Structure 1
Amino acid sequence: MYDLLKSKLLAQPVLHADETYYTVLESETVKTYYWVFLSDRHDSYGITLYHHDPSRSGQVALDFLGDYKGYLHCDMWQAYEQLPKATLVGCWAHVRRKFHEAVPQAASEKSLTKQGLNYCNRMFYLEQTWEALSKQERYQIRQVKLKPLMRKFFEWCRRNKATVLPGSKLGKAINYVLKHQEIFAYVLLDGNLELSNNKAERAVKSLVMDRKNWLFSQSFEGATAGLCTNKAFREQPSLAVMFLKT
């Protein structure tokens, strides 16, 4: 069943992926990892698959996704860069979070940190207003409104890079944007792509909450059982079928 669902998942044109750590005492490593791979919101199957692995390396993503040729929403974890044919789509929620964390308590609206955050807020506001549009309509309006806004934001980052300390929170946020600029702009390539990878982050959020409660598992079997008793695992919508493979 797992392999059947995986084959259907990998046939989708758009996927989301994320991972989170989990402690297993019998593991040879300090941390093991839950990986989650799921279809996008436009997929009628609504498949979510979890994979438990000792490693967070690129080999795990490569073993699971192989020569997947579609779009993959993900954070900028280097493991996903090992995929030879997938087109990575960066998560703007991560960008926004970095600028939000850089804003001092008494910052004015004219401060650089607020300016960077406001660029991100405008993008998410626009996306929210286009939520009910068709794929083609969303693609077209993004070219007219979102693409110029992104271009201005990237130019703003380049212009201000030299004026802030690279080790500061703002400096790190700007460098993060510029390092992955091309991947962040890939959301413009298809109307079904999303501005964030929040769908995958929500899929692992309940695991993170449970991790805080029971802290660790003695064995890999216990880690598997812990996932299967997870509330989110048991209470999925009828179209969302979830399985675990270790």
Structure 2
Amino acid sequence: MVYYLYEEGSRARKVVTDFLDAFCGYVSSDGYVAYSVFDDAAKYPDIVRCGCWTHARRLFVEALDSCSEARTVINDVAALFKVEAECSRKELEALERKTERENRSVPIMTRIYCRLKSLSKDTATMANSLMKKAVTYMLHQWDSLRNFILDGRVQLSNNLCEQRMKPIKLNLKVCQNIGSERAAENASFMFSLMESCKLNNLKEEPYMERLFNSLCMEQVDWKLNLPCFYKQ
């Protein structure tokens, strides 16, 4: 399922915490500060935040032209993604993938961490503002970045969510003409349905026709009409 949450245009932490109040499981996110509240295990014992390796790597890519030291970290992060690609190619189950990560990804992460600590103490390297930003970000996010080891279902990055945001970004100018908060909520609902259809390989028009026809029925199991449960 894809769900776009609209709360009067707010990106405040309260929107996230209220929405996930009864949630138990793993949350994958970038380093946006609103999500860092879930790093507090005492306050949120049932939620584990997993950092995004794509976001962490991106800063080193940006620093590469000005500092060749960034290449080592980039290559090591690429090695983590290579492990994931091989796990997918072998079609490993979650427990098998977890074992593979423990055997192969943990040593890579140990190497990355030692490299980061060494770079953080190198005054010449840290004088480069882009490298300083990259190293500081990855060290600050380290606890969340390593959490993908805990469960084979967790992905290394939140690219899937990033891709789901593209339709919203492409429609920003159109969305500026939405005339009310109620209309904005309705728009986010329709975006949620359409993107969920894409994620489940459903053709939007036949799905919507079936959905509207269901409105005339007296007894409808609306859960079964959600795109993730819908049977054509």
Aligned to 2:3: 49
Deviation sequence 1:16-73 (CA, Å, 0-9, x none):
xxxxxxxxxxxxxxxxxxxxxxxxxxxxxxx222111232111111110104221111
Which stretch shifts more, 92-101 or 150-159? 92-101
Distance 2:104 2:175 in 1: 46
Question: Is residue 166–residue 175 contact of structure 1 (8 Å, CA) maintained in 2?
Answer: no
Letter in 2 for 1:121: A
User: What SS class does the counterpart of residue 3 from structure 2 fall into?
Assistant: strand
For residues 131-142 of structure 1, the aligned pairs below 5 Å read 131=88, 132-142=91-101
Distance 1:196 1:235, change over 3 A: closer
CA deviation after TM superposition for structure 1 residue 87, in Å: 0.6
CA deviation after TM superposition for structure 1 residue 197, in Å: 0.8
Q: Which of 88, 102, 114 lines up with 1:155 in the alignment? A: 114
Aligned to 2:132: 171
CA deviation after TM superposition for structure 1 residue 205, in Å: 1.5
Q: Which of 147, 150, 163 lines up with 1:202 in the alignment? A: 163
Aligned to 1:185: 146
Deviation sequence 1:69-114 (CA, Å, 0-9, x none):
2111111222123342311011111111111111118x7xxx2011
Question: Is residue 96–residue 117 contact of structure 1 (8 Å, CA) maintained in 2?
Answer: yes
Distance 1:215 1:48, change over 3 A: closer
Question: Is residue 116–residue 153 contact of structure 1 (8 Å, CA) maintained in 2?
Answer: yes
> Higher Cα Rg: structure 1 or 2?
2
Letter in 2 for 1:129: E
Distance 1:192 1:209, change over 3 A: same
Letter in 2 for 1:174: V
What percentage of residue pairs aligned between the two structures are identical? 25
Distance 1:191 1:229, change over 3 A: closer
1:101 correspondence with 2:62: yes
Question: Is residue 90–residue 184 contact of structure 1 (8 Å, CA) maintained in 2?
Answer: yes
**Which runs of 5 or more structure 1 residues have no equivalent in the other structure?**
1-46
1:81 correspondence with 2:67: no
Distance 1:140 1:146 in 2: 10
**Which runs of 5 or more structure 2 residues have no equivalent in the other structure?**
39-43, 203-224
Which stretch shifts more, 138-147 or 230-239? 230-239
Distance 2:11 2:127 in 1: 27
Distance 1:195 1:223, change over 3 A: same
CA deviation after TM superposition for structure 1 residue 225, in Å: 5.1
Deviation sequence 1:100-151 (CA, Å, 0-9, x none):
111118x7xxx20111211111111121111121112111111111000001
Distance 1:236 1:136, change over 3 A: closer
Distance 1:176 1:203, change over 3 A: same
Aligned to 1:145: 104
TM-score, normalization by structure 1: 0.70
Question: Is residue 197–residue 227 contact of structure 2 (8 Å, CA) maintained in 1?
Answer: no
TM-score, normalization by structure 2: 0.73
1:214 correspondence with 2:174: yes
CA deviation after TM superposition for structure 1 residue 178, in Å: 0.7
